[in-house]
Chains A and B, each alone.
Chain A
Amino acid sequence: MEIQTTKKSRKFKDFADFDNQRQDVGYFLLPFKFHRITPEIEVLVNEVGDFLLVPNGTAYKIVKREIDKEKNFDLYADLIANFFISESKVSPLIDVLATRYRTKKSFLDDFTTLHIFVITLRCEHTCHYCQVSRVTQDKTKYDMQEVHIDRGIEMMMKSPNPHVTMEFQGGEPLLAFDKVKYAVLKAYEEAEKYNKTITFVICTNLAVVEREMLEFCKEYNILISTSLDGPDYVHNPNRPRPNKNSFELVKKGIDLCREVLGFDRVSALMTTTNLSLQYPIEIIDTYIEFGFNSIFLRPISPYGFAVHNEKKNKYETDKFLEFYKKGLDYIIELNLNGTYLVEDYARIILTKMLTPFPIGYVDLNSPAGLINNAIVFNYNGKVYASDESRMLAEMKDETFLLGDLTTNSYEDIFYGKKVQEIAQFWSNESLAGCSDCAFQSYCGADPVHNHATQGSMYGYRPTSTFCQRNMEIIRYIFERMYKDKSVENIFRKWASPKR
């Protein structure tokens, strides 16, 4: 017997259900934006980041009501189904669209997650791009005092977020491992009291790691995030230290972490320098040799001491983009040939493009991730809006200083006048150049970057390196996806939460 279903059991209406609706007025527009991807195609993006890749000129035809329901049946159906047009003035699915919008902004729901504790500024490396570290034995001057650690944990427990991350940065945190231990034990105890779950992360170059330290990390489920800049001939010049053996030490360190903590408990980040720009393929190959299944091809930040070392650090955005595209193309080829490797920057953007969910990446959110998602407690008790803000402070620029752990309350710091001032510039929906940009929902606002590079938190998009970089990377991702279905399949796999 033939199985029949009734419409009541279906989630979506049949297309035929729209047939008799308001033919007299044609269709109504829903909010959307568009951008040319190549001379042939443009992308239409709706308010929640859904997109359609269509021939150039389609947006114009839509607005001029030249899309005919019968002659352009497929496009018309796609436009209806993806909330670009509606056959009634208020779409019957307005509540669904509103829920999807709320979901896209749900990274705001619980406020600050990431609490960065700069546990010491001391470091035994002298990386030319590092903005903050000091080669010194002076613990009193450059290590975080226990009173500041206690107050930082108190602030962290006041976050409305039921899940917080406590990240130890430096300098080199393992040089102050006694302070790390103190902080972990204290935070662990407090988290139980306040019924919060807590994730611990130590950002370390692993040069001074010892088995006993990792045993402690194992006991408290501490994740290790290390630095790996590529093969030894890139990593060692990027990260000078006595004996010039940074690469050898990080290799040993990663092996030891995997042995004690487990294979996936250690991840690596790379920093791009002028030297790195020559070796995208070799850097990626190094990550594969080390057994990592992802790599983050990230640009160097323009803050702090790095700005003063122009010859080594201030490379053109175009050169970075060339490096990035070469790297991304190579990673795609690897995936097509059966090696699973994800490029993390593309993954962040693809998650925004291809899923209904937001992603907690501080630099690409609107409202911005600073304060809303991350906060920095510096070694000296000062509180900054983001990691980049404290780097600016090293250049004597205290614009993003929010307060002091010993003298200010949670409310002073998180809801104070400084935050209100920054908040005027942290949504790309209200910035000139961004407000009409089709990539708005994939990109973010970065008032710290604007201030550091252009002298105002508002910024100026035509000369913004942040804008130039993100516009081209997003455009390129669309282009690759459009031109090759197999690339789209890889991208969808990267964006899938069950990867």
Chain B
Amino acid sequence: MAELKNYSKDGEITVFADAKLYSKEAIFKCLYWYGDKFHTNVSFHNQDTYKITLIPISTSQISTNEMELYLAKLERDLVDFSVRQLVNQETQAIRELLIAKAFANGEFDEIPVGELTDPVGFNVKDL
């Protein structure tokens, strides 16, 4: 299959994203930040590939040169938001545990037990 190339043409930015590499969540979170200047659209180019299009809203007044810059920015942002999504996925459980412990008022402090040491050397667990 021929490699799909991203482009900016005829006042429109088109970017392709491999569905195996980019999650739907990451794509939508990324496009959220383009909504002030562009009409955004996501569709399936084929079953393995998302097709993302940006069309400037009428009041944006974006030049051709700026469209190229926005294309580069979108490509970069898609990677950034995918990385963020990976961090979110991998750390969701630990984040929930952290916040539960922070506001538990002692209820869930034991599970799982943290490893505390004390600067003056006595054994915290004996207290």
User: Interface residues, chain A, CB within 8 Å of chain B?
Assistant: 6, 8-13, 28-34, 36, 47, 59-60, 63, 89-99, 101-102, 105, 432-433, 436, 460-463
Of B4-12, B41-49, B85-93, the one contacting chain A is B85-93
CB distance from A135 to the nearest CB of B (A): 40
- Say whether A436 contacts B83, CB under 8 Å: no
Known: A47-B98, A102-B103. A9 touches B114 (CB 8 A): no
Q: Mark B83-112, 1 if CB is under 8 A from A, else 0.
A: 110111011001101110111000001001
Contact of A92 among B80, B103, B115 (CB under 8 A): B115
Report the bound CA distance from A47 to B31 in whole Å.
24
Report the bound CA distance from A94 to B113 in whole Å.
8
Starting from the known contacts A29-B90, A101-B98, A436-B84, 11 additional A-B residue pairs (CB-CB under 8 Å) come to A8-B121, A11-B117, A13-B117, A31-B88, A31-B95, A63-B83, A63-B87, A90-B97, A94-B112, A101-B102, A462-B34
Contact of A94 among B84, B87, B90, B114 (CB under 8 A): B114
Contact of A31 among B94, B115, B117 (CB under 8 A): B94
- Say whether B90 contacts A99, CB under 8 Å: no
Report the bound CA distance from A92 to B115 in whole Å.
5
Find chain B residues with CB under 8 A from A9 CB. 119-121
CB distance from A108 to the nearest CB of B (A): 9
Q: Mark B51-68, 1 if CB is under 8 A from A, else 0.
A: 000000000000000000
CB distance from B30 to the nearest CB of A (A): 10
Find chain B residues with CB under 8 A from A105 CB. 102-103
Q: 5 closest A-B pairs (Cβ-Cβ)?
A: A95-B114, A92-B115, A98-B101, A462-B36, A101-B102
Known: A59-B83, A60-B83, A436-B84. A95 touches B116 (CB 8 A): yes
Find chain B residues with CB under 8 A from A28 CB. 90, 94
CB distance from A39 to the nearest CB of B (A): 11
Total A-B pairs, Cβ < 8 A: 100
- Say whether A101 contacts B114, CB under 8 Å: no
Find chain B residues with CB under 8 A from A462 CB. 32-37
Report the bound CA distance from A34 to B77 in whole Å.
12
User: Interface residues, chain B, CB within 8 Å of chain A?
Assistant: 29, 32-37, 79-81, 83-84, 86-88, 90-91, 94-95, 97-99, 101-103, 109, 112-121
Report the bound CA distance from A461 to B79 in whole Å.
20
Known: A47-B95, A95-B101. A60 touches B115 (CB 8 A): no
Report the bound CA distance from A33 to B97 in whole Å.
18
Find chain B residues with CB under 8 A from A91 CB. 94, 114
Find chain A residues with CB under 8 A from B120 CB. 9
Find chain B residues with CB under 8 A from A30 CB. 91, 94
Find chain A residues with CB under 8 A from B37 CB. 462
- Say whether B86 contacts A63, CB under 8 Å: yes
Find chain A residues with CB under 8 A from B114 CB. 91-96, 98
For B104, the closest partner residue in chain A by CB is A98
CB distance from A232 to the nearest CB of B (A): 40
For A436, the closest partner residue in chain B by CB is B84
Report the bound CA distance from A432 to B113 in whole Å.
33
Find chain B residues with CB under 8 A from A460 CB. 35-36
For B96, the closest partner residue in chain A by CB is A31
CB distance from B119 to the nearest CB of A (A): 4
Find chain B residues with CB under 8 A from A60 CB. 79, 83
Find chain A residues with CB under 8 A from B109 CB. 95
Report the bound CA distance from A255 to B87 in whole Å.
56
Most B Cβ at <10 Å: residue of A9, A36, A92, A98: A98
